[in-house]
Structures are given as structure tokens and as C-alpha cells.
Amino acid sequence: MNSNQEVIRRLSRYRNVMRKMKGLGLVKVFSDNLADAVGVSPSLVRKDFSMFNLTGNKRGGYRIDDLVTKLNTLLGKDKKQKIIIIGCGKLGQALMNHNGFPRVGIRVVAGFDSDPAVLNAEAPIPILHVKDIKEFIAENEIRVAALTVPEPAAQGMIDTLRKTCVKGVINFAPLTLKSSDDFLIHNMNIEQEIENLFYNIHFAESNPVENLVA
Amino acid sequence: MNSNQEVIRRLSRYRNVMRKMKGLGLVKVFSDNLADAVGVSPSLVRKDFSMFNLTGNKRGGYRIDDLVTKLNTLLGKDKKQKIIIIGCGKLGQALMNHNGFPRVGIRVVAGFDSDPAVLNAEAPIPILHVKDIKEFIAENEIRVAALTVPEPAAQGMIDTLRKTCVKGVINFAPLTLKSSDDFLIHNMNIEQEIENLFYNIHFAESNPVENLVA
DNA sequence: AATATATTGTGAAACAAGTAACTTTATAAT
DNA sequence: ATTATAAAGTTACTTGTTTCACAATATATT
Ligand SMILES: NC(=O)c1ccc[n+]([C@@H]2O[C@H](COP(=O)([O-])OP(=O)(O)OC[C@H]3O[C@@H](n4cnc5c(N)ncnc54)[C@H](O)[C@@H]3O)[C@@H](O)[C@H]2O)c1
Ligand SMILES: NC(=O)c1ccc[n+]([C@@H]2O[C@H](COP(=O)([O-])OP(=O)(O)OC[C@H]3O[C@@H](n4cnc5c(N)ncnc54)[C@H](O)[C@@H]3O)[C@@H](O)[C@H]2O)c1
């Protein structure tokens, strides 16, 4: 029905700020407050909620507790969210040891690498050889993987993952891997986003076309 | 003039695949080829190029060399792209040592941290105390920073950076920091994107509204 | 109890982005 | 030289998203 990615990200953000508001002792919240906090318009907040049947009170706003609970259900946070990390180099190990994941219900259950030197099956989060990945995924019903292998290995690994029950990948290799309906890939291209920042800083105010043509 | 971010990301992608095509010995490319490679429609490729006065030949497509050069200028890749890393923990150090940056013209010139234990002014990429950051930014004319400090420190650091000549930040702390016209923030919320994948996998095919209402 | 008011919820309007279809023109074929 | 054709460049259309404006209504006030 609804395949808009942005609205889901906003729902996530609304929930995150509401969690903080709750921490401050707040009980209810208005579309205006959420709009300010998240940086969108109040009507968009209401539209977003309306779209998912998240209702408030005609006067008195939304009950934070209530909304957070509903959003958790909606966003699937009531389920365990197990992930594996493929490629345990600099970035992969940072992800494996990231202490923010447990806080939001994401659990890294294993890492995989092709280099025997980094393997460690006995660690709290084991690093296993990538040759055993299919078996592991099947046994542990893994649905999501983070891909942190070098660029040349990325597409090959995707081809392997497609043959498993993995259904979503967050890719950090600097190339745009293509998603399909039954196999979602979210590309996090850090290099590209930095380039993009430079572009916007450097050229955005002046007319980029003229810069080029001149 | 043009404030559409997506088109800039696509230009980056077109350029990246053209660099690879060039590596394969190709000389010219058609909108159809680029469309296939990047996963967009041919008319969008042409429109994107047209928007930035990137012209080809009415028959015979676009000259790869020519286009890559023009895109490099347009995207600012002819300039040095210096960045600093603020917060040299797990993720910050991964970024500092990322060997993909030089390849695309991005140079990490320093890291900053508040923990004396991680400082190292003598390293090839020095890690300096964050108390000296303003001075360093001014002296080295830093325009872009990567923010990899813990979430509670993030907003404070942004407030500090706003008083410097830094004009863009790529933020990895899991909160949405707000951008403005003269100070751009790109939020890379890894946790949120993983949540988002789980949402899409779990709920997208079934009707999410009904799941919630039921 | 009656009235005023604040805030939600939503249909319509405005806007932005992408697609499709058409026009132009350079090259190739005859 | 003429004609055909392939692909760029452009315009018009379609689709999707956000904002606007207001009706509905729950709460507060008198
Ligand atoms: N380090 C960063 O901050 C950073 C930033 C942006 C993008 N990236 C991208 O993320 C990816 C990883 O970067 P990194 O810095 O961690 O690199 P890295 O070289 O430190 O780590 C890569 C790891 O992948 C392993 N590997 C190689 N081929 C494999 C395969 N076929 N299967 C399983 N494991 C394999 C290697 O043994 C190594 O341990 C790269 O694509 C890089 O471009 C990294
Ligand atoms: N590690 C990951 O893979 C990962 C993934 C997603 C998001 N993040 C986010 O990135 C940020 C960094 O994560 P990490 O895992 O590297 O954490 P970390 O704790 O390993 O590193 C944080 C570093 O920031 C330094 N620091 C703290 N306050 C500072 C300040 N005011 N000024 C300068 N330096 C300061 C600390 O001394 C430490 O070295 C966090 O916000 C985290 O949520 C990390």
C-alpha cells in the first residue's frame, strides 16, 4: 500500500524525539512540537499520523506513551532485529562494537570475513569465515546484513546473499547496488555524501550551470 | 537555483560508472547505458544532463572523457576536499584510516577528541585536543567536518562549529541535527536505516495500517 | 449549560519530480 | 545528394508529496 520511504524515516524521528520528551517527563505532545523538533511542518506531522491511523485528541494533542507504543509496533521494534556484518575491517569492526545498537533493539549476531587473520569464533560476537555464511544465515534466520567489504567484493556478496533468506542489506561499499522488490539494498555512500556537501557549499549559492559554462 | 539533492547524487553516480566504463576502454556512452547502470530511466539521465548544460551529440551519445571532466568541475572535484573528523572513537578512526578517501580526492587532515588517551599530534593524520579545534579550522580553512562523537555531545559540537568557517557537517550521531541555508548538515543515521530495512521487509508487503489497527 | 478556543483530521490546491512522447539534428546508408 | 535513422534535447503530462485552509470536536472557560 504505502511504499514511501521518507514517511517511515519521519515516523522514526518522531518516535525518537518523543522518547526524549518522555525522558523529560512530558506526557502529551502537539503536532506543532513535533514539527519544530523534527524540522517539518505541523500539517505534515498530522498527515503522516493520519496516514497510519495514529490518532490524537481533538484538543490536547497526542499521548506520547500511546504513540511511541504504536510506532514501535508499526516500525517492528517489538521484534528482535538480528543483523550480521560482512567484512570485518575498520568499518565492519566499528559496527560490530557499536554500543548504540542494543539500545534500539538491534543485535549484531556475527561477523564474516575472508581473511583468516581476523577470524575469531570464540568472541562474544564471533567472526566466522565467509564460506560458512549461507549455513549460518539459514540456521539463524538472518534477514538483514551490513555489507562492509571492499568495493570489488560487494556485488559478488550480494549475489550470494540473494540465494539466502536475507531480504535487506545496508551497503557501505562506495557503489550503488540495485534493490529489487524482494531484496532491499540501502546504499550508504559516505564518500558521495561528503562530495555532495562540498558541492552544496561551493556551488549551490552561485549558479552551477553558469560556473560550468563559463 | 537548483536545490534538488537527488539530481546531484545521480550526477555523482553517473560519473562513477563512467569512470569504470573508461577503465574498460569505452569512449562514448548513451543515455540508455547510463540509465541501465545507475538504475534510472534514460529520459531522466538526459534531463539531468540538460539541466546542467551537459551536452552530448545528437547521434553518438556522450563522450565519457568530456563528461567526466565536466562533472568533476561541477561537483567540485578539481578542488582539494579537506575534512576533519570530530570524535576519534571506533567510527571516527575507521573514517580517519579509510583508504577510499584519497582515491576520490577527499583528504582527512586531522582528528579531534576530548579524551587525552587517544590524542596523538605526531601521527600522519594528527589527533588533536578538541579545545584547539577553532584555531585549527581557521588556520586550515576547513569547510567540512565529520561528526562522530557520542549523541549527547553532538549538538554542542554543532554550536561550536557554527562559529567557525565550517559550512557542512556529515553527522553520524543517531539524532537529526538541523540544517540551515548557510550551515549544511547531512545526517547519516545508520541505526535508523537498519530499522527502516526491517520495517520494509517485515511490513511492506502486508498492509501496515491494518497490522496496526487490528 | 452555553460559549469560546485550541488542536486534530482531511480534502483540495500547489508544488516538485519523474516519465513519456515528441522534435531536432548529426551521422550513416543508399 | 537524398533519405533514413538513432539518439540527444525538450516539452507536456503524470504521479507523488507537501502545504493550505477549514470543518469537526474535545476541552476549557464563564
Ligand atoms: N573505513 C571507512 O570509514 C569507510 C568509509 C566509507 C566507505 N567504506 C567502505 O566500506 C568498506 C569497508 O571499508 P574498510 O575501511 O572497513 O575496509 P577494510 O579493508 O579495513 O576491511 C574490509 C574487510 O573485508 C574483508 N573482505 C574482503 N573481501 C571479502 C569477502 N569477499 N568476503 C568477506 N570479507 C571480505 C577483508 O578481509 C577486510 O577485513 C569498503 O567498501 C569501503 O570503501 C569505509
Ligand atoms: N560505531 C559505529 O559503528 C556507529 C554506528 C552508528 C552510529 N554511530 C555513532 O557515531 C558516534 C561515534 O560512535 P563510536 O562507536 O565511534 O563511539 P566511541 O565511543 O567509540 O567514540 C566516541 C569518541 O568521541 C570522543 N568524544 C566524546 N565527547 C567528545 C567531545 N565533546 N568532543 C570531541 N570528542 C568527544 C570520545 O572520547 C570517543 O573517542 C556515536 O554518536 C554513535 O552513536 C557509531
Longest dimension (CA), chain B: 62
CATH number of the domain located at residue range(s) A81-192 in this protein: 3.40.50.720
List the alpha helices (DSSP H) in chain A. Answer: 5-23, 31-38, 42-51, 64-75, 90-96, 100-103, 133-140, 151-162, 190-203, 208-213
What pLDDT, in 10s, does the model give residues A113-168? 999 999 999 999 999 999 999 999 999 999 999 999 999 999 999 999 999 999 99
What is the pTM (predicted TM-score) of this model? 0.93
Task: Give, in order, the Cα–Cα distances in Å from A196 to each of A92, A191, B35.
Answer: 24, 9, 21
Local confidence pLDDT in tens for the 214 residues of chain B: 556 889 999 999 999 999 999 999 999 999 999 999 999 999 999 999 999 999 999 988 999 999 999 999 999 888 889 999 999 999 999 999 999 999 999 999 999 999 999 999 999 999 999 999 999 999 999 999 999 999 999 999 999 999 999 999 999 999 999 999 899 999 999 999 999 999 999 875 565 444 444 3
Q: Which of A53, A170, A194 sits opposite B213 (nearest CB)?
A: A53
A41 touches strand D (CB under 7 A): yes
Which segments of chain A belong to CATH 3.40.50.720?
Answer: 81-192
Q: Which of residues 175-194 of B touch A (CB under 8 A)?
A: 175-176, 178, 184, 186, 188, 190-194
Of B139, B162, A18, the C-alpha closest to B147 is B162
Which ligand lies nearest to the CA atom of residue A85 in the structure? 1
Strand partners, B180: B183
Check residue B205 and report its DSSP letter.
S
C-alpha cell at A23: 525522558
Which protein residues touch ligand 2 with a CB less than 6 Å away?
A 94-95, 98, 100; B 86-92, 112-115, 118, 130, 148-151, 153, 157, 172-174, 190-191
Is residue B207 within a helix (H) or strand (E), and if so which, with residue range?
none
pLDDT for B137 equals 98
pLDDT for B208 equals 44
pLDDT for B79 equals 86
A57 touches strand D (CB under 7 A): yes
What ligand 1 atom has the least distance to the C-alpha of A173? 41
What ligand 2 atom has the least distance to the C-alpha of B118? 39
CATH entry, B3-74, from 1.10.10.10, 3.90.930.60, 3.90.199.10, 2.40.30.10? 1.10.10.10
pLDDT for B213 equals 42
Which segments of chain A belong to CATH 1.10.10.10?
Answer: 3-74
Residue ranges in chain A modelled with pLDDT below 50: 1, 208-214
